[in-house]
Amino acid sequence: MPNLLKWGLVIGVVCGLTLVAAGTLFRGWLQSPMYPSDAGISEFILNVEPGTTLSTVYQELAEIGMLNQVRLATWWAVRKGYASQIQAGEYVIPAGITLPALMEQLISGQVIYHDVRIIEGTSLAEVLLELRGNKILVDDLAGLAINLENGLDQTWGPQDLEMSANGNLQYLEGYLFPDTYKVRRGESARALIERSHELMRGQLSRVWLESPQDTRKTLGSPYNLLILASIVEKETGQETERADIAQVFHNRLNKGMRLQTDPTVIYGLGEAFDGNLTRAHLRTDTPYNSYTRAGLPPTPIAIPSLASIRAAANPSRGELLYFVAKGDGSSQFSNTLDDHNKAVRRFQLRQR
């Protein structure tokens, strides 16, 4: 018995020392760099696609020589409860990183964000074309009912502005907020559209609630404010002229005059417009021809900036009814048709 006890103690000590040594080796392995800082690589990009499992990530790391114990790393991650917590996206992995530090990155979602711009003055068709060509975003816009090249459906009204259940985005013309958005690789293009739409709704509502009473009387609704702001956006050559341009259109609306603004005509022509606006175009009736029809067009014609929305809600005060481009990016404003005709002869006909 004494010999058995002695051997048992010896075996126990050996096993204990072995476990201690194994634990020490394991901790050392965890804290060792996955790839050394002197390997000639300062960092690399790890792309974790949506739905990717941790084992797939580990396998990818093993294939490039960063991880030499996939099973051990997987066991450790499962034991820690990390396996189901990783987030999709692109990660910058610096040289010298340890496995625990990498897992902290993957769990916290410290990903690379990319800039995607939605630009003021552009149409919905142009925005969708840009987003569909963006390699960072997932193109989930295909099949949406947005066929601007085939002509706009004029049967709908402002009550249909919300995105319908079938994903119809046609009603969102002008209803996106121009900004630079931070997105992850693999993010949904449609989610970005929805995000931009919600932001525009909030900004438009805020400006409308703060607008003067006479603006509300003239325009009647936030949606009409958006329409007018889109026209101001397309007509503005210089930032300081937005409020004066808005004044012209407010005065015309209040007097029952037609807006007679070229950008609405161009929008209504669609692909039929070749870059040269003619007198025949001005006489061609469409729902957007503000020379042949009174009042505002049925929808916005472009995405307005917040500056244009504010100008449309707060026009400058005066009797301005006309303006003409001077050829240097600015406009000549007039109160009377006689003065306007003189300005046209001076700045337009002379240039021709």
Nearest to 164 by CA among 184, 146, 178, 142: 146
Note the pLDDT of residue 163. Answer: 39
Residue 300: is its pLDDT beyond 50?
yes
Note the pLDDT of residue 165. Answer: 35
| Mean local confidence (pLDDT), 133-152 | 63
| Mean local confidence (pLDDT), 219-230 | 94
Residue 6: is its pLDDT beyond 80?
no
pLDDT band at 159 (very low <50, low <70, confident <90, very high): very low
Percent of the chain having pLDDT more than 70? 80
Q: What is the mean pLDDT of the chain?
A: 81
- CB burial of 63-97 (b: ≥16 within 10 Å; e: otherwise) equals eeebbeeeeebbebbeeeebbeebebbbbebbbbb
Q: Are 291 and 260 in contact (CB under 8 A)?
A: yes
Q: Which two tokens stand for residue 163?
A: 């995105």
More confident residue, 124 or 258: 258
pTM over 0.85: no
Note the pLDDT of residue 97. Answer: 83
| Mean local confidence (pLDDT), 16-33 | 57
pLDDT band at 270 (very low <50, low <70, confident <90, very high): confident
pLDDT band at 37 (very low <50, low <70, confident <90, very high): low
- Residue 203 to residue 304: CA distance in whole angstroms: 11
| Mean local confidence (pLDDT), 111-121 | 94
Question: E-assigned strands of the chain?
Answer: 43-48, 89-94, 114-118, 179-183, 322-325, 331-334
pLDDT band at 241 (very low <50, low <70, confident <90, very high): very high
pLDDT band at 224 (very low <50, low <70, confident <90, very high): very high
More confident residue, 163 or 57: 57
| Mean local confidence (pLDDT), 228-249 | 95
pLDDT band at 145 (very low <50, low <70, confident <90, very high): very low
* Least confident stretch, 68-72, 110-114, 129-133, 303-307: 68-72
Note the pLDDT of residue 313. Answer: 97
Nearest to 163 by CA among 178, 147, 176, 180: 176
pLDDT band at 11 (very low <50, low <70, confident <90, very high): low
pLDDT band at 151 (very low <50, low <70, confident <90, very high): very low
